[in-house]
């Protein structure tokens, strides 16, 4: 028969395959929500799966900031910032980011995903080469694919491997870009930033660092892992407002020249509607709170240190984590699902992380600690983990 594959057959077999491999994803709607406790499947669950590390998503200051901005500027931005969607509050938020990070400028993007898929293709094209840590987020990988540049993944945090690649490729490509995360979202471990800066200098590459999970939690002012003294040496630092900052959208901290360049080249910025006023108002309030209420940051860091220690010393569980993101790696997808299910039964909202989000054979549950948790929450979780594993 001269016909294409039937779409119903294709979708049916694809879903069955995912299901049998323990890889099927589905939604689980919250029925209610308050300070670190979600209601789902009819019962309250302590939430260990959100990225609201500072507990700011429900903070009255963010809600107030959103209301005020919306009352003044309206519900939507009405256009791309390059058209008539550009408002004073967008610029205020960009200045606040530049101050926080110690860079010349800040620049907003609709989301972290849009930032990564917009920036990378602006910087590199067919004649260029991009080096990406093996554990980099999907949005980085997609940005690289869109750029059409040659693409090499180096072993996670392995700078010897990266340097080998840089050495052998020197003179073969036009520009080179290294992309990393400062805090890896599924491992909770940190990048060797100063060594990377050294490699960048030695080989003359562009360096882009994604601080999605470090922003707000790390740094003396919540600026992230790249401190003010180092920030100027990194070409592009990206962060999001959707995680520790409790809002939505993303920013880049960068030089004046690179900002002018991206305003002209980053397609996800040029051809997409500006962030709405309410979102900007909430984000402005969140950045201000980093300065005014440092206690959320110290609280989550303290909880995380205690929790990692208890996992290791009391339960003999090894985790790569050096942060508030603490994975318990179990290996197979079905085992990770089973563990998540048993934790759910015990009153904890935890989700299994499976390929392709993480490499094959490293399925895990990812526990993210937040300032909303109490020490008792953590000891109960440890108990449930010891009976579930
Ligand atoms: C979440 C995340 C993003 C995407 O950010 P959003 O604002 O949620 O779109 C990008 N990079 C990393 C490392 C992330 O964890």
pLDDT at 389 over 80: no
For the CA of 136, the nearest atom of ligand 1: 13
Phi, psi of 171, deg, nearest 5: 75, -10
Edge-to-edge, what's the strand order for the sheet holding 37-40? 32-34, 37-40, 43-47, 348-349
> What is the total count of domains within the chain?
2
Mutation probe of ligand 1 site: the residue of 51, 132, 139, 272 with most atoms within 8 A of C-beta: 139
State pLDDT tens for residues 252-268: 999 999 999 999 999 99
Q: Supply the pLDDT for residue 34.
A: 79
Same domain, 117 and 218: yes
For the CA of 137, the nearest atom of ligand 1: 13
DSSP string, 254-303: E-HHHHHHHHHH-HHHHTSPPPPHHHHHHHHHHHHHHHH-THHHHHHHHH
**Which CATH number is 358's domain given?**
3.90.1150.10
| pLDDT top residue among 291 and 35 | 291
Same domain, 264 and 356: no
Same domain, 301 and 262: no
Of 292, 324, 348, the residue that ends a domain is: 292
**Which CATH number is 285's domain given?**
3.40.640.10
Please state the rounded mean pLDDT for residues 162-182.
Answer: 95
Residue ranges around ligand 1 (CB below 6 Å):
111-113, 116, 137, 139, 181, 185, 210, 212-213, 240, 242, 250
pTM, 2 dp: 0.96
Q: Supply the pLDDT for residue 17.
A: 92
Of 235, 264, 292, the residue that ends a domain is: 292
Which residue's C-alpha comes closest to atom 3 of ligand 1? 112
Same domain, 64 and 123: yes
315 C-alpha to ligand 1 centroid (Å): 31
In a domain, 221, yes or no: yes
212 C-alpha to ligand 1 centroid (Å): 6
In a domain, 2, yes or no: no
Adjacent-strand bridge partners of 164: none
Same domain, 209 and 265: yes
Mean pLDDT check: name the lowest of 173-182, 226-235, 285-294: 226-235
349 C-alpha to ligand 1 centroid (Å): 21
Q: What is the C-alpha separation between 20 and 82, in angstroms, rounded?
A: 47
Please state the rounded mean pLDDT for residues 311-326.
Answer: 94
In a domain, 371, yes or no: yes
- At residue 2, the 3 state secondary structure works out as coil
Of 231, 257, 292, the residue that ends a domain is: 292
Which residue's C-alpha comes closest to atom 10 of ligand 1? 112
pLDDT at 375 over 70: yes
Same domain, 367 and 279: no
State pLDDT tens for residues 173-222: 999 999 999 999 999 999 999 999 999 999 999 999 999 999 999 999 99
Mutation probe of ligand 1 site: the residue of 52, 112, 134 with most atoms within 8 A of C-beta: 112
Same domain, 217 and 362: no
State pLDDT tens for residues 42-89: 889 999 999 999 999 999 999 999 999 999 999 999 999 999 999 999
In a domain, 16, yes or no: no
256 C-alpha to ligand 1 centroid (Å): 24
CB contact at 8 A, 238 and 210: yes
240 C-alpha to ligand 1 centroid (Å): 7
pLDDT at 140 over 80: yes
Confidence label for 35 from pLDDT (cuts 50, 70 and 90): confident
Mean pLDDT check: name the lowest of 3-12, 29-38, 328-337: 29-38
Confidence label for 1 from pLDDT (cuts 50, 70 and 90): low
In a domain, 9, yes or no: no
Phi, psi of 262, deg, nearest 5: -65, -35
Average pLDDT taken over every residue of the chain: 95
Give residue 223's domain range.
60-292
For the CA of 113, the nearest atom of ligand 1: 9
pLDDT at 370 over 90: yes
- In the chain, DSSP finds a helix count (H) and a strand count (E) of 14, 14
CB contact at 8 A, 30 and 40: yes
CB contact at 8 A, 272 and 111: no
Percentage of the chain surpassing pLDDT 70?
100
Mean pLDDT check: name the lowest of 23-37, 54-68, 130-144, 165-179: 23-37
Active site residues: 51, 137, 181, 185, 210, 213, 243
Same domain, 257 and 315: no
Which residue's C-alpha comes closest to atom 8 of ligand 1? 112
246 C-alpha to ligand 1 centroid (Å): 13
Q: Supply the pLDDT for residue 33.
A: 81
Q: Supply the pLDDT for residue 245.
A: 98
């Amino acid at each position: 028969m001269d016909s294409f594959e039937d779409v119903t057959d294709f979708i049916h077999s694809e879903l069955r395959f995912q299901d049998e491999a323990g890889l099927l994803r589905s939604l689980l709607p919250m029925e209610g929500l308050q300070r670190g406790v979600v209601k789902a499947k009819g019962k309250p669950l302590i939430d260990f799966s959100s990225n609201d590390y500072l507990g700011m998503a429900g903070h009255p200051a963010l809600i107030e900031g959103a209301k005020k901005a919306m009352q003044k500027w309206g519900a939507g931005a009405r256009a791309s910032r390059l058209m008539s969607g550009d408002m004073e509050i967008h610029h205020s938020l960009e200045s606040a980011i530049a101050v926080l990070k110690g860079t010349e400028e800040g620049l907003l993007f609709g989301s972290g995903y849009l930032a990564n898929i917009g920036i990378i293709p602006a910087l590199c094209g067919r004649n260029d080469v991009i080096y990406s840590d093996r554990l980099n987020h999907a949005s980085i990988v997609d940005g690289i694919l869109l750029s059409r540049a040659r693409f090499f993944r180096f072993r996670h945090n392995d700078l010897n491997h990266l340097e080998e690649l840089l050495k052998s490729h020197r003179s073969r490509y036009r520009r080179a870009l290294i992309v990393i995360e400062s805090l890896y979202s599924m491992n909770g471990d940190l990048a060797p930033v100063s060594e990377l800066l050294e490699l960048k200098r030695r080989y003359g590459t562009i360096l882009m660092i994604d601080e999605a999970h470090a922003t707000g939690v790390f740094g003396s002012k919540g600026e992230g892992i790249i401190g003010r003294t180092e920030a100027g040496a990194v070409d592009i630092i990206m962060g999001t407002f959707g995680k520790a900052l409790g809002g939505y959208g993303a920013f880049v901290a960068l030089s004046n020249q690179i900002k002018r360049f991206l305003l002209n080249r980053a397609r996800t910025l040029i051809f997409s509607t500006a962030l709405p006023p309410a979102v900007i108002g909430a984000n402005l309030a969140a950045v201000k709170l980093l300065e005014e209420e440092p206690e959320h940051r110290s609280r989550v860091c303290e909880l995380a240190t205690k929790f990692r220690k208890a996992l290791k010393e009391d339960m003999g569980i090894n985790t790569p984590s050096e942060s508030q993101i603490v994975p318990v790696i179990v290996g197979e997808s079905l085992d990770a699902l089973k563990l998540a299910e048993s934790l759910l039964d015990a009153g904890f909202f935890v989700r299994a992380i499976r390929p392709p989000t993480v490499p094959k054979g490293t399925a895990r549950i990812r526990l993210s600690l937040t300032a909303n948790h109490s020490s008792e929450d953590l000891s109960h979780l440890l108990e449930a983990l010891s009976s579930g594993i």
